[in-house]
Amino acid sequence: MAQVEKLSVAAVLSLFSTSGLYSVAYAWLFGMSLWISFFGGVIAYKTLSRTQFGALQHKTFPIYFVISIGLGSTLLGLWVNAHPTVWTHYTDPFVADVAQAYTLAYVILAQGSNYFIIGPMTSKTMFKRMKLEKNEGKAYNESGVSDEMKALNKQFGALHGISSLANLGVIIALGFHGGVVSLCL
């Protein structure tokens, strides 16, 4: 018969470790990235008006990017600390531990670019387009819109596409990293 084990303060405190922190941070980052990209955004797009959806995204994405940067930085710091070969072979991306460090660095750089550069440019373009729609009395996708609207549409599409590709790259990178981490368990 199995022995009944009682919880103690020491047993509970032993649950808090760097590997536990790593697991929670990774799960949070990967789950959040999947939710924002494939579920929450789609639900909001189908539920809200276009202007409400744009306003929601304008408020949600900066928070998502900051949390991603913070969690990605935490993961990278913990990874490098746990895998000292990263420091000795940092120029060789074919060393498995180094490849994982590069993968996490990509997450930080992609979300940093989205937060500091691409996101603000996209929002600025979106709000210009909304204002122009109001002034012209036409939706951005109606026929007969001005050349200025066409230029804003093109700019918004390019910026949104770059942001989406960077974010998709983050999800792929995190999936790759999760697969490698799962081999360590």
Please indicate, yes or no, if residue 92 is contained in any of the structural domains. Answer: yes
Straight-line distance from the first to the last Cα atom of the chain, in angstroms, rounded to the nearest whole number = 28
**Residue 130 clears pLDDT 90, i.e. is over it:** yes
**pTM to 2 decimals?**
0.91
Please indicate, yes or no, if residue 112 is contained in any of the structural domains. Answer: yes
> Look-up: residue for tokens 């531990």?
97
Please indicate, yes or no, if residue 108 is contained in any of the structural domains. Answer: yes
Per-residue pLDDT tens over the stretch 144-168: 999 999 999 999 999 999 999 999 9
Residue pair 119/61 in contact (Cβ under 8 Å)? The answer is: yes
Q: What's the confidence (pLDDT) of residue 99?
A: 97
Please indicate, yes or no, if residue 5 is contained in any of the structural domains. Answer: no
Total domains in the fold of the chain = 1
Q: What's the confidence (pLDDT) of residue 14?
A: 78
Instruction: Supply the range of the domain harboring residue 171.
Output: 15-183
**Residue 139 clears pLDDT 70, i.e. is over it:** yes
Q: What's the confidence (pLDDT) of residue 11?
A: 80
Residue pair 141/112 in contact (Cβ under 8 Å)? The answer is: no
**Residue 1 clears pLDDT 80, i.e. is over it:** no
Per-residue pLDDT tens over the stretch 41-100: 999 999 999 999 999 999 999 999 999 999 999 999 999 999 999 999 999 999 999 999
The percent of the chain in helix, strand and coil, each rounded to the nearest 5, is 80, 0, 20
Please indicate, yes or no, if residue 80 is contained in any of the structural domains. Answer: yes
Please indicate, yes or no, if residue 37 is contained in any of the structural domains. Answer: yes
Please indicate, yes or no, if residue 53 is contained in any of the structural domains. Answer: yes
Q: What's the confidence (pLDDT) of residue 114?
A: 98
Angle at 40 between CA 25 and CA 130, to 5 degrees: 120
Which token pair is 72? 């990605």
**Residue 136 clears pLDDT 80, i.e. is over it:** yes
Please indicate, yes or no, if residue 8 is contained in any of the structural domains. Answer: no
Q: Say what percent of the chain tops pLDDT 70.
A: 99
**CA gap 77, 176 in Å, rounded:** 18
**Residue 171 clears pLDDT 70, i.e. is over it:** yes
